[in-house]
Amino acid sequence: MAFSVVILAAGKGTRMKSSLPKVLHKVGGVPMVQRIINTVQSLGAENIHLVYGHGGDQLKASIAADNLNWCLQAEQLGTGHAVQQAVPHINDQEDVLVLVGDAPLIQEQTLSALKAVKAQCDLALLTVELDDPTGMGRIVRENDNITAIVEHKDATDAQRDIKEINTGMMMMSGADLKRWLGDLSNDNAQGEYYLTDVIAMAASEGKRIQSAQPESAVEVEGVNNRLQLANLERALQQRQANALMTNGVTLLDPSRFDLRGTLETGNDIVIDVNVIVEGDVTIGNNVTIGANCILRNCTIADNAVIEANSIIEDAQVGEACVVGPYARLRPGAVMHKNAKVGNFVEMKKAVLGEGAKANHLTYLGDAQVGANANIGAGTITCNYDGVNKSKTVIGENAFIGSNSSLVAPVSVGDGATVGAGSVITSAVEDNALAVARGKQRNIANWPRPTKKS
Ligand code: UD1
Ligand code: CA
């Protein structure tokens, strides 16, 4: 059955003390509301109506989805009033899933379960039992049947003892929702139009109301301040770490691993502590990642070794390559099979051919390095003249002596050798030796200066 989603995100989020709308704060590197949008998209939602109130420009600049419809709730008059803003876009025939924008850890399988419950009844509610339900709407049951939700502020003492609470997530038909919303009043403790009042309306019409529960309570936990945000971040990281370990990845300490994006993994990967993975990252089989590495939008092929403290961004590391420790691969860095970059080597828009090596203290920018070339310590490709970037091409089996500057645009041929300390400004032919430095001159018995009195 076709269904659409209404995400309530118009609340101000005052307690975040932030210029950023609350739902744009990130969990696992993704804005909370985007995470929810991604989840309902994989569930197959037809349309997603996002009810927003504050920071519309910021929201629209940060959030994306093909089937997203923006609904402004100019004044926050309650959750029922918020859903009303989406009503003009809702069909009678479709089902409507209402979600809250600040509970980012909701899982697809939980919403799937809620949907399955809705298929068997008229109104499906996601509820959870909390040891401390203070502040939440309570699920009122008579002979086990749900008859109402009572908000904490409106509840009697007896109702406040109820531990089963409303998560704010529910599903019903568009026709029912529209009819009930039309009958809401704000005659309650908060003077708000409560979405939760539709439950008593449904019960009085004799509708079948049933509940589903999430796998764990963190899925429905909302974020109101940065403490709660940090707690959910930890919960998400633990969930992700568990999934990775289940998939054959060794995390030497799962509590010191952060995935802020997506990670595709092969078998027998070992990841040491304090590794941060951002964006979309793919790691092949039998790869070792040392401590304190940052991997961002990159691919690392089978049998590669990334030593500690390396940063790899928008780059490709080929099979059996070795990177680091302390290496930095910037956007456009590509290492072919068996290539090696060692400590304090930086690559940007640079390709290292198969088996090529730059073992120490080198900058390779806008460069192409042939197979099995050896780049000596301290080599710099001088790619920038202050205005334009130019390219350096180094041939196969070339040998660049230590502390050389290759002033681009320039090329060094296959099998060519550059003497240490050279400044190369014009092309070096294949198999030639280029030496471009002051010639050594020795002065015999040279008297050192003496201190003047
Ligand atoms: C609401 C529920 C309560 C439930 C709790 C779960 C109602 C009346 N109460 O209470 O039963 O236990 O959530 O967290 O629904 N929002 C708008 N516009 C508004 C008001 C709220 O978009 O005018 C959005 C908020 O941004 C938030 C969500 O709706 O994402 C819930 O609002 P919030 O004020 O947190 O609801 P509670 O009073 O906590
Ligand atoms: Ca409220």
- For residue 153, the CA-to-ligand 2 centroid distance in Å is 10
Q: Return the ligand number nearest the Cα of 10.
A: 1
Q: Tokens in use for 401?
A: 């002596």
3-state class (DSSP) for residue 403: coil
- For residue 39, the CA-to-ligand 2 centroid distance in Å is 25
Asked if the model's pLDDT at residue 80 lies above 90, the reply is: yes
- For residue 439, the CA-to-ligand 1 centroid distance in Å is 78
CB atoms within 10 A of CB 450: 6
- For residue 310, the CA-to-ligand 1 centroid distance in Å is 44
Average pLDDT, the chain: 97
**Ligand 1, pocket residues at CB < 6 Å:** 8-11, 51, 73, 76-79, 81-82, 100-102, 136-137, 149, 151, 165-168, 194-196, 222
Q: Return the ligand number nearest the Cα of 134.
A: 1
The CA distance from 174 to 196, in Å, is 16
- For residue 9, the CA-to-ligand 2 centroid distance in Å is 12
The CA distance from 39 to 56, in Å, is 22
Q: For the chain, how far is it from start to end, CA to CA, in angstroms?
A: 100
Q: Tokens in use for 440?
A: 């050594």
**Per residue in 309-324, is it b (16+ CB within 10 Å) or e — as a string?**
bbbbbebbbbbbbbbb
Angle between helices 32-42 and 108-119 (to 10 degrees): 50
**Per residue in 84-99, is it b (16+ CB within 10 Å) or e — as a string?**
bbbbeebeeebbbbbb
3-state class (DSSP) for residue 68: strand
Alpha carbon nearest to ligand 1 atom 13, residue: 168
Q: Return the ligand number nearest the Cα of 78.
A: 1
* For range 290-299, the mean pLDDT: 98
* For range 257-275, the mean pLDDT: 98
- Confidence class of residue 290 from pLDDT cuts 50, 70 and 90? very high
Alpha carbon nearest to ligand 1 atom 36, residue: 79
360 catalytic per annotation: yes
- For residue 227, the CA-to-ligand 2 centroid distance in Å is 19
Alpha carbon nearest to ligand 1 atom 22, residue: 10
For residue 53, give the ligand 1 atom closest to its CA: 22
At which residue do the structure tokens 């090529």 appear? 356
For residue 101, give the ligand 1 atom closest to its CA: 30
For residue 195, give the ligand 1 atom closest to its CA: 15
For residue 151, give the ligand 1 atom closest to its CA: 11
What are the C-alpha distances in Å from 381 to residues 183, 244, 340, 405, 426? 72, 39, 17, 6, 13
The pick from 36, 79, 150 for probing ligand 1's pocket by mutation, whose C-beta has the most ligand atoms within 8 angstroms, reads 79
**Per residue in 44-74, is it b (16+ CB within 10 Å) or e — as a string?**
ebebbbbbbbbbeeebeebbeeeebbebebe
Q: Which helix (H) or strand (E) holds 251?
A: strand 249-251
Q: What is the pLDDT of residue 178?
A: 98
How far, rounded to the nearest angstrom, does the alpha carbon of residue 208 sit from its chain's CA centroid? 40
* For range 417-444, the mean pLDDT: 98
Q: Tokens in use for 124?
A: 């499906």
Q: What is the pLDDT of residue 25?
A: 98
Q: Return the ligand number nearest the Cα of 79.
A: 1
The pLDDT tens digits for 316-359 are: 999 999 999 999 999 999 999 999 999 999 999 999 999 999 99
For residue 77, give the ligand 1 atom closest to its CA: 23
318, 314, 286, 280: which is closest to 300 by C-alpha?
A: 318
The CA distance from 336 to 316, in Å, is 8
Alpha carbon nearest to ligand 1 atom 29, residue: 8
Q: What is the pLDDT of residue 179?
A: 98
- Among candidate residues 25, 54, 81, 360, the one labeled active-site is 360
**Interstrand relation of 26-27 and 305-306 (parallel, antiparallel or unpaired):** unpaired
The pLDDT tens digits for 169-206 are: 999 999 999 999 999 999 999 999 999 999 999 999 99
DSSP H helices, 72-218, are 79-84, 108-119, 157-160, 174-182, 197-204
The pLDDT tens digits for 219-245 are: 999 999 999 999 999 999 999 999 999
Burial of 415 (C-beta count, 10 Å sphere; 0-12/13-18/19+): middle
Q: What is the pLDDT of residue 441?
A: 97
pTM: 0.94
* For range 148-172, the mean pLDDT: 98
The pLDDT tens digits for 383-406 are: 999 999 999 999 999 999 999 999
User: Residue length, the chain?
Assistant: 453
The CA distance from 91 to 109, in Å, is 25
Q: What is the pLDDT of residue 34?
A: 97
- Confidence class of residue 12 from pLDDT cuts 50, 70 and 90? confident
- For residue 171, the CA-to-ligand 2 centroid distance in Å is 20
Q: Which residues, including other chains, have CB under 8 Å from residue 377's CB and lie 6 or more apart?
A: 359, 360, 361, 362, 402, 403
396, 354, 361, 399: which is closest to 380 by C-alpha?
A: 361
For residue 52, give the ligand 1 atom closest to its CA: 22
Asked if the model's pLDDT at residue 45 lies above 90, the reply is: yes
Asked if the model's pLDDT at residue 1 lies above 90, the reply is: no
Radius of gyration of the chain (CA): 31
